[in-house]
A = this chain, B = another copy of it.
């Protein structure tokens, strides 16, 4: 299969966006592990990355709208860029909630959720440059779907345990929301993989 990219900048911008996901997921892992004052500093760093992500997405969309010829369907690039941004937004929201709610202790299984997000971010960042050649995207797609199923199971177990173990309703509300947002982040990574599949099918 041959493919001639017409504007390489899109690939570079998308790869950059995906790289921010890796950094964001690493900081998130530190936040769920760290405590108190450290968390605040980490969440601030996370918020800066989220801001940079917004600007990257904005740059992609602006270029998209002002470019006559794009390597793929305009809509597909738009969806992909917005989708990458959503992943980062949810990870940032999780970090922010942990700090805003002053949550001291998170359930152990939250680490499972975050670890899956880290794997997803790495896979996504590795796949983006592959868009240029459309190589090996299938493996990426399959693996993301497998991880999303795993995330789903971790999430259900967490919710079920929270409602059984946490007797203070306000604590429950706080923890439950962090767990919820992390699940949304995993879903967002799956959506990105679906957009990549859409692009791959069209170009096949």
* Contact present for B62 and A201 (CB under 8 Å): yes
A204 to B68 CA separation, bound complex (whole angstroms): 13
A173 in contact (CB, < 8 A): yes
For the complex, is A3 an interface residue (Cβ under 8 Å from B)?
Answer: no
Q: Interface-forming stretch among A22-30, A107-115, A117-125, A155-163?
A: A155-163
Chain B residues contacting A198 (CB-CB under 8 Å) are: 61, 65
- Chain multiplicity (copies): 3
A1 cross-chain contacts in B, Cβ below 8 A = none
Query: Are B66's CB and A202's CB within 8 A?
Result: yes
- How many A residues touch B, CB cutoff 8 Å? 23
Closest Cβ of chain B: how far from A155's Cβ, in Å? 10
- Which residue in chain B gives the minimum CB-CB distance to A155? B100
Q: Is the CB of A65 within 8 A of B201?
A: yes
A196 vs chain B, min Cβ distance (A): 12
Beyond contacts A66-B202, A75-B75, A163-B170: 10 other A-B pairs, Cβ-Cβ < 8 A, are A61-B198, A65-B201, A66-B201, A66-B204, A96-B156, A100-B159, A100-B163, A102-B163, A169-B173, A173-B173
Chain A residues engaging chain B, CB cutoff 8 angstroms: 61-62, 65-66, 75, 96, 100-102, 156, 159-160, 163, 169-170, 172-174, 197-198, 201-202, 204
